[in-house]
């Protein structure tokens, strides 16, 4: 009797382990997306930092969370995000000229102010927070390879949970048949 319980207990543990592993994988994917997705639902724009112009305060690979703001409320020292051609730039405001409706900006790591002033119509908003490393995750999730990885991880988590359910069903069927044979 003891010998049968040992392997039987191990066999019963497999679905539990599949469930745990599948759930951990799915939770990891969901939790890794939260710092990117939740702020967007709260009205923030999220951008990945690709240059070191704002180091050491905002490092390469960080994500910056940008909140819309009226241009006249921006003051010297604020860090803003603005469009520069097809790119988004994050720099500190040196001055806000409300008459000309433009900002003079400078990256913290740059020796001089930016050559071109930033007109009010290019303002996205001011940076309210930056999180190191999250921008790298954004790059990964937006790349083809990253999207494939996420899809594969989600599929693996789902398959492990489905497999756990199937194994439990098979065990119940096996137990029911064993009880029926023993009753005869």
Per-residue pLDDT of the chain (184 residues; tens, 9 = 90+): 444 455 577 777 889 999 999 999 999 999 988 888 888 888 899 999 999 999 999 999 999 999 999 999 999 999 999 999 999 999 999 999 999 999 999 999 999 999 999 999 999 999 999 999 888 888 888 889 989 999 999 999 999 999 999 988 888 887 777 777 777 6
pLDDT of residue 184: 65
Task: Tell me whether residue 19 is in a domain.
Answer: no
Q: How far is CA 88 from CA 21, 22, 105, 153, 178, in A?
A: 39, 38, 13, 31, 67
Neighbours of 40 (CB within 10 A): 11
- Is the distance from CB of 123 to CB of 109 less than 8 angstroms? no
Neighbours of 9 (CB within 10 A): 9
Task: Tell me whether residue 9 is in a domain.
Answer: no
Task: Tell me whether residue 2 is in a domain.
Answer: no
Task: Tell me whether residue 23 is in a domain.
Answer: no
3-state SS assignment for residue 84? strand
pLDDT of residue 1: 43
- Is the distance from CB of 80 to CB of 124 less than 8 angstroms? yes
pLDDT of residue 2: 46
Q: How far apart (Å, rounded) are the C-alpha atoms in residues 151 and 157?
A: 10
Of 128, 40, 20, 25, nearest in space to 81 by CA: 128
Task: Tell me whether residue 16 is in a domain.
Answer: no
CATH of the domain at 120: 2.10.109.10
Of 183, 159, 184, nearest in space to 21 by CA: 159
Task: Tell me whether residue 59 is in a domain.
Answer: yes
Task: Tell me whether residue 66 is in a domain.
Answer: yes
pTM: 0.73
3-state SS assignment for residue 62? coil
Task: Tell me whether residue 96 is in a domain.
Answer: yes
Range of the domain at 121: 28-169
Domain count, the chain: 1
pLDDT of residue 174: 75
């Amino acid at each position: 009797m003891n010998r049968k319980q040992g392997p039987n207990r191990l066999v019963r543990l497999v679905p539990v382990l599949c469930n745990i592993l599948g759930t951990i994988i799915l939770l990891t994917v969901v939790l890794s997306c939260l710092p990117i997705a939740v702020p967007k639902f709260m009205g923030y724009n999220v951008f990945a930092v690709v240059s070191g112009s704002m180091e050491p305060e905002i490092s390469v690979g960080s994500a910056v969370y940008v909140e819309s703001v009226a241009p006249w409320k921006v003051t010297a020292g604020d860090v803003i995000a603005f469009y520069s051609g097809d790119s988004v730039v994050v720099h500190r405001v040196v001055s806000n000229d409300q008459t000309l409706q433009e900002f003079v900006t400078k990256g913290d790591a740059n020796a001089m102010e930016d050559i071109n002033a930033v007109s009010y119509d290019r303002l996205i908003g001011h940076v309210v927070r930056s999180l190191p490393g999250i921008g790298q995750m954004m790059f990964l999730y937006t790349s083809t390879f990253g999207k494939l990885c996420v899809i594969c991880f989600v599929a693996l988590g789902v398959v492990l949970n489905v497999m756990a359910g199937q194994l439990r069903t098979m065990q119940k069927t096996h137990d029911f048949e064993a009880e029926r044979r023993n009753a005869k």
